[in-house]
C-alpha cells in the first residue's frame, strides 16, 4: 500500500491557514491532519469544527481529525458535518469505546482510536476488528516539535503483528516526532500513515520535505 503523508496543521501559520493547506496539497500531501485540543485532556487549546469546516472549503484531500478532548462523543457529529473524513478518539477519554467508534462510523467518517505512549496495546484487544485505523502517539499529545519516544517503534511493530496475524484491516498511523531522522524506522516498523507537523511546516520547501520523506520510506 502507498504510504500516506499527513501534515499536521498544528505547525501551520494560522494567519494564513487556507494558503498553508493549499501549499501542502500542492506539495504532495495525502491527508490533512487536524489536532483538536481542549485544554483539559491536553494542556493546550487549538480549534473546533468551525475551523475544520473552513479547511474543508479549501482542499479536496481527506481531513483527519484527531480529538484530544474530554467527552469526544458530544462533538463527533459536529466534526463529521464540518467535513472530517477520518475521526479518531483517545482511548483514555472513552469509557464506552465501542459506542464512540460506532458514533464515528454512523456519522459517515472512518473511525480511529488513539493510544498515548504509556497506554498498552491491550486496550485495543476487543476493538481492533471494529476500527478503521489505530493512531499510535509517539510523543505525549499537546504540542508539536517534541522528541520521538524511542520505544514507540517496538509498539508499532507489535501492533503490526497483531493486525496481520488476525487478518484485520486497520491502518497504523503514527503521530509525534516524525521527521527525516525517524521516519525510515517508523516505516520499517509497519506504519501506513505518517503525521508530521514541524518537519513539514517548518521546512523551507514543503514539496522537498514530503519528497524526502517518500524517498526515506523507500519510494523509487
198 binds, among ligand DX5, Zn ion, none (CB under 5 to 8 A by kind): ligand DX5
Among 103, 175, 182, 196, binds Zn ion (CB under 5 A): 175
Residues of this chain, 14-43, that bind Zn ion according to CB under 5 A = 35
Q: Known catalytic residue: 38?
A: no
Q: Measured in whole angstroms, how far is the alpha carbon of residue 130 from the centre of its chain?
A: 18
Dmax (CA) for the chain in angstroms is: 46
| Among 208, 173, 197, CA closest to 28 | 208
> Quick count: other Cβ atoms within 10 Å of Cβ 46?
19
Tell me which of 64, 132, 175, 192 is the catalytic residue.
Answer: 175
**Residue 102 vs 146, nearer CB to ligand DX5:** 146
Q: Which residues pair with 38 in a beta bridge?
A: 45
Q: Which is nearer to ligand DX5, 3 or 168 (CB)?
A: 3
Contacts of residue 4, Cβ cutoff 8 Å, sequence gap at least 6: 30, 31, 171, 173, 192, 193, 194
Question: How far apart, in whole angstroms, are the C-alpha atoms of residue 61 and residue 172?
Answer: 19
Q: Which stretch binds Zn ion (CB under 5 A): 64-72, 104-112, 179-187, 210-218?
A: 64-72
**Taking CB within 5 to 8 Å according to partner kind, which of Zn ion, ligand DX5, none is near residue 196?**
ligand DX5
**Cα radius of gyration rounded to whole Å, the chain:** 16
Told to check if 66 binds Zn ion by CB under 5 A, we report yes
Least distance (Å) from ligand DX5 to the CB of residue 166?
27
35 is catalytic: yes
Binding site for Zn ion (CB under 5 A): 35, 66, 175
**What are the residue numbers of the active site?**
35, 175
Amino acid at each position: 500500500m502507498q504510504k500516506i503523508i499527513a501534515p499536521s496543521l498544528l505547525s501551520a501559520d494560522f494567519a494564513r491557514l487556507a494558503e498553508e493547506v493549499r501549499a501542502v496539497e500542492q506539495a504532495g500531501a495525502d491527508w490533512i491532519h487536524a489536532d483538536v485540543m481542549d485544554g483539559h485532556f491536553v494542556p493546550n487549546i487549538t480549534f473546533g469544527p468551525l475551523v475544520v469546516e473552513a479547511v474543508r472549503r479549501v482542499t479536496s484531500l481527506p481531513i483527519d481529525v484527531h480529538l484530544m478532548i474530554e467527552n469526544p462523543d458530544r462533538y463527533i457529529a459536529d466534526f463529521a458535518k464540518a467535513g472530517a473524513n477520518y475521526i479518531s478518539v483517545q482511548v483514555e477519554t472513552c469509557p464506552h469505546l465501542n459506542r464512540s467508534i460506532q458514533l464515528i462510523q454512523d456519522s459517515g467518517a472512518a473511525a480511529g482510536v488513539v493510544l498515548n505512549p504509556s497506554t498498552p496495546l491491550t486496550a485495543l484487544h476487543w476493538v481492533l476488528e471494529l476500527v478503521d485505523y489505530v493512531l499510535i502517539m509517539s510523543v505525549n499529545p499537546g504540542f508539536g516539535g517534541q522528541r520521538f519516544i524511542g520505544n514507540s517503534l517496538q509498539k508499532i511493530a507489535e501492533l503490526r503483528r497483531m493486525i496481520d496475524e488476525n487478518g484485520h484491516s486497520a491502518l497504523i498511523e503514527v503521530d509525534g516526532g516524525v521527521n527525516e531522522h525517524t521516519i525510515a524506522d517508523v516505516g520499517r516498523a509497519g506504519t501506513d500513515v505518517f503525521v508530521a507537523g514541524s518537519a513539514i511546516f517548518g521546512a523551507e520547501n514543503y514539496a522537498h520535505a514530503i519528497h524526502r520523506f517518500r524517498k526515506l520510506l523507500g519510494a523509487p
